[in-house]
Amino acid sequence: MIQAIVVWFLLTYCVCIIHTHVSKQNDGIATILAISLWLVILAPTFTETNTLTFFRDVLEPNVVSISISLLCLLVTGVALGLFFQNHIEENDTAQYIFVIAAAGALSVYVLTVLLFLPVNIDQCSCLYGYYGETCENSCWADNGVICSGHGTCATNGCQCDAFFQGETCNACINQYNYDTNCTACNQGYSLLYQCTTCTDGRDPSTACQECFDGYLEDTNYNSPALGCTVCKENYFRPSPDPLIGSYNAFLEFGTICTECPKENDNICNGHGQCQHFLLENPDGEFEYEGVTVLGQQASGACACEEGYYGPTCIKALGFDGENTESICAGNGYITTNYRRNFEDIFDTFVGLSCVCDEGWIPNVGENACSCRAGFDTQCIECAFGYYLFNGSCFVCPGGSFTSACNMKNAGGVCNNDGTCTCKVSYVSGGYTGNDCKTCVNHNFIQVGDSCVPCAGAFSSGFSDACGGHGVCITQSRLDMWAATDLASDSFSLYFSLAAEPKSETELAAFYVGKCECFSGFSLDATGICI
């Protein structure tokens, strides 16, 4: 259609030119040519497929620039009219002013049309499914559906729905599976973490397609869906559930398949069976190679053979490998020892020891409980605080070890015949008695199992303490005064010599261990009489 209009315009133009040349008249010719030209200009608007409209896409976005251009044309017309008027009137100054005004307004009009008006014309309004300045790009997918049916077409292309991506929304974000409309993950990825991480048991370095060590592959189990979820033989899944009682040294909260405990590079030291899920169990939840087995959360603990103990089945002390009677030399039983540090949640196994029967000692190592009480760990000599008699070790008077003969207070020493030799010193103390726990005379104060000398004591006499100018009040002296009246060391003698005599009751209640000075003497800062 547009081609026909152009041909019509050219024929009209030629006819008008011929008519003007032949008739020598041009009346109406200019009007006809102007109308024909505008018809050619406007024809595409009416004859061609075009989403642009004059009012919407040209006028409305350019109201300011079009208004300025029309104002400039108005000013130009008025200025030219005034110019011709002043030309007739031969007013040269006014002519120059109005011709300059007309030229300036016309220049502004030309610049506005050339620089601003074309720039502000909107781009094409694309049909739905296309975008770009000239609608050159498409939102149509290979399946003939806009944005693959998972988005909407916008000015910049497909705006995909949630979980979809790609130029035409033909793919999923992360590792969602497209065949499930991005509602499920590809194999090996966890929906719990929006398909960004592997499910438990799968190795991220293999794009979640292979299992970590300790897990059965899909082909090893009766259900492919359980691939990388079931632990291998001699692996277990630790549990924080105390009723399951996972081996605490390997416990990790979570679902990691953990190797059963080893000793000497052998599972359960080669003398036990690990409680992992592949053990036969009539009440088990799964089946492996036709055998019903334990469930996933087994304890991982070792069920040890006789003679072997602890979480890794360590050989019992003294066990000869055959006869359980040899354990602890037959004179005790095995106990397992654990330690719990402050920051730990669970106890840590530290080893085995023997609890010996009465009369036997828990000496170190394989000889545990092989020695009778009183012998050293080699079962050769008596231990400290014991004496040998007829091939056996007996406790010294006062008790064994440092309690013998009150040795912990330097009271005395135990002799080979089982008697005590007590020590007397007016510096460190004086002891007597069968077990050296009794003070040797009345100038020593009994403090528990210790005999502390009175202040200034230098001998055992009545006035051989307190600097020789008084008497030391001790419980043993008070007991003697209450029982006898010896002139050399009696209450009456004290009463006659004391500067401030007190009754026996007062002395027993408040003055034991203190010096009572004779007349003419008093206590100094050290507690003796001067």
The residue that leads in pLDDT, 230 or 218, is 230
The residue that leads in pLDDT, 83 or 488, is 488
Instruction: Write down the pLDDT at residue 349.
Output: 86
Q: How much is the average pLDDT of 258-277? A: 90
Q: Tell me the CATH number for domain 130-193.
A: 2.10.25
Using alpha carbons, select from 343, 344, 341, 363 the residue that is nearest to residue 353.
363
Instruction: Write down the pLDDT at residue 386.
Output: 83
- Confidence category of residue 519, pLDDT binned at 50, 70, 90: very high
- For the ranges 231-235, 313-317, 361-365, 480-484, the lowest mean pLDDT is seen at 361-365
- Confidence category of residue 104, pLDDT binned at 50, 70, 90: confident
Burial 25-50 (b: 16+ CB within 10 A, else e): eeeebeeeeeebeeebeebeeeeeee
Give Cβ neighbours of residue 267 (< 8 Å, ≥ 6 apart).
234, 259, 260, 261, 274, 302
| pTM listed for this prediction | 0.43
- Confidence category of residue 356, pLDDT binned at 50, 70, 90: confident
The answer on pLDDT for 145 being more than 90 is yes
Instruction: Write down the pLDDT at residue 50.
Output: 57
Instruction: Write down the pLDDT at residue 330.
Output: 84
Instruction: Write down the pLDDT at residue 253.
Output: 44
The answer on pLDDT for 466 being more than 90 is yes
Q: How much is the average pLDDT of 470-484? A: 91
Reported as a single tens digit per residue, the pLDDT across 160-199 is 999 999 999 999 999 999 999 999 999 889 999 999 999 8
What's the chain's average pLDDT? 81
Instruction: Write down the pLDDT at residue 182.
Output: 96
Give the whole-angstrom CA distance, residue 348 versus residue 346.
Answer: 7
The answer on pLDDT for 146 being more than 90 is yes
Report which listed range, 2-16, 304-318, 380-394, is most confident: 304-318
Give the whole-angstrom CA distance, residue 251 versus residue 245.
Answer: 10
- What long-range pairs does 160-169 form, CB within 8 A, spacing at least 24? 168/139, 168/140, 168/141, 168/142, 169/141
Report which listed range, 125-129, 270-274, 330-334, is most confident: 270-274
CB 414 within 8 A of CB 420: yes
Using alpha carbons, select from 309, 284, 288 the residue that is nearest to residue 298.
284
Give the whole-angstrom CA distance, residue 437 versus residue 441.
Answer: 12
What residue segments make up the domains of the chain, in order of their start? 1-50, 53-122, 130-193, 321-420, 441-517
Instruction: Write down the pLDDT at residue 258.
Output: 83
- Confidence category of residue 347, pLDDT binned at 50, 70, 90: confident
Count of other CB atoms within 10 angstroms of residue 357:
13
Give the whole-angstrom CA distance, residue 129 versus residue 131.
Answer: 7
The residue that leads in pLDDT, 480 or 366, is 480
The residue that leads in pLDDT, 81 or 477, is 477
Instruction: Write down the pLDDT at residue 457.
Output: 92
Give the whole-angstrom CA distance, residue 154 versus residue 147.
Answer: 10
- For the ranges 22-36, 229-243, 279-293, the lowest mean pLDDT is seen at 22-36
- Confidence category of residue 249, pLDDT binned at 50, 70, 90: very low
Q: How much is the average pLDDT of 465-474? A: 93
| C-alpha distance from residue 125 to each of 18, 136, 137 (Å) | 44, 12, 13
Instruction: Write down the pLDDT at residue 507.
Output: 93
Reported as a single tens digit per residue, the pLDDT across 14-72 is 766 566 556 655 455 556 655 665 565 566 556 655 556 666 666 777 778 778 877 87
